[in-house]
Amino acid sequence: MVKKQTVILLAAVLLAVIITGGCINGSEVAENDTVSVRYVGTFENGTVFDSNTGDDGKEPLQFIVGKQQVISGFEKAVIGMKPNETKTVTLPTEEAYPYDPSRVVAFNKTEVVESLGSIPEVGHKLTLLNGNGGNMVGTVLEITDTEVIIDFNGETAGKTLIFKITVVDVIKSGNN
């Protein structure tokens, strides 16, 4: 009778491990899995630009690996990680947010002044409406006699980014 109870107990433990994704081959993040992560993103100087550690009230970031729902370097970083595993990765701009020179736009200075009611200053952030009715935030780079040059690249564009990533959950796709 003891052996039968032991076998049932071991089977139950094994089933629980498989269901929760613990320590069984296949619990590592792979292509097409849905993964939930917590992260802290910093610049090389240590300044935090984004996080969802839970202390901030944000939910874990959830995405499907391989579907380009997050930046490529972040996606590559989670492959092979397991639930509750944490690692820190440094992403060069090519794997994060490359700087896009086409997002630097020159506007007619007279029109900008008329629209704002004053001359903006270099370094000021301006919010403009795009053609779809959405907002675009840009930074004034330069003011000439005839133009106001605004950079619509985000603050992370063209910078090396450091992420401390913790995998919270992995939902296997069934295609692995």
Q: In which region does residue 167 sit, left (phi positive, over 0), alpha (psi from -120 to 50) or beta (all else)?
A: beta
- Rounded to 5 degrees, φ, ψ at 15 are -65, -40
Is residue 115 situated within a structural domain? yes
How confident is residue 8, by pLDDT bands cut at 50, 70 and 90?
low
Helix or strand (DSSP H, E) at 89: strand 86-91
Assess whether 114 and 145 both reside in one domain.
Answer: yes
Q: Residue 116: is its pLDDT beyond 80?
A: yes
* Residue of 110, 138, 113 lying closest to 125 (CA atoms): 138
Q: Return contacts of 110-119, CB within 8 angstroms, 24+ apart.
A: 112/148, 119/143
Residues 76 and 110 in one domain: no
Return the CATH number at 140: 2.40.10.330
**86/132 same-domain check:** no
Q: Which residues touch 39 (CB under 8 Å, ≥6 apart)?
A: 50, 51, 52, 53, 61, 74, 163, 164, 165, 166
Number of domains making up the chain: 2
Identify whether 18 is part of a domain: no
State the pLDDT at residue 54: 75
Domain-embedded: residue 19 = no
The answer to the question of residue 21 being in a domain is no
The CATH number covering residue 161 comes to: 3.10.50.40
- Does some domain include residue 5? no
**Which structural domain range is residue 120 located in?**
101-151
| Model confidence, pTM | 0.75
Decide if 64 is inside a domain.
yes
Query: Is residue 10 assigned to a domain?
Result: no
Q: Is 13 inside a domain boundary? A: no
Collect all residues with Cβ–Cβ distance below 8 Å to 67 and sequence separation of at least 6. 32
Using CA atoms, how far residue 100 sits from 69, 72, 151, 152, 155, in Å, is 19, 16, 9, 9, 12
- pLDDT tens-digit map of 37-73: 999 999 999 999 999 987 878 999 999 999 999 999 9
Question: Average pLDDT of the chain?
Answer: 87
> Which tokens sit at 91?
């992403």
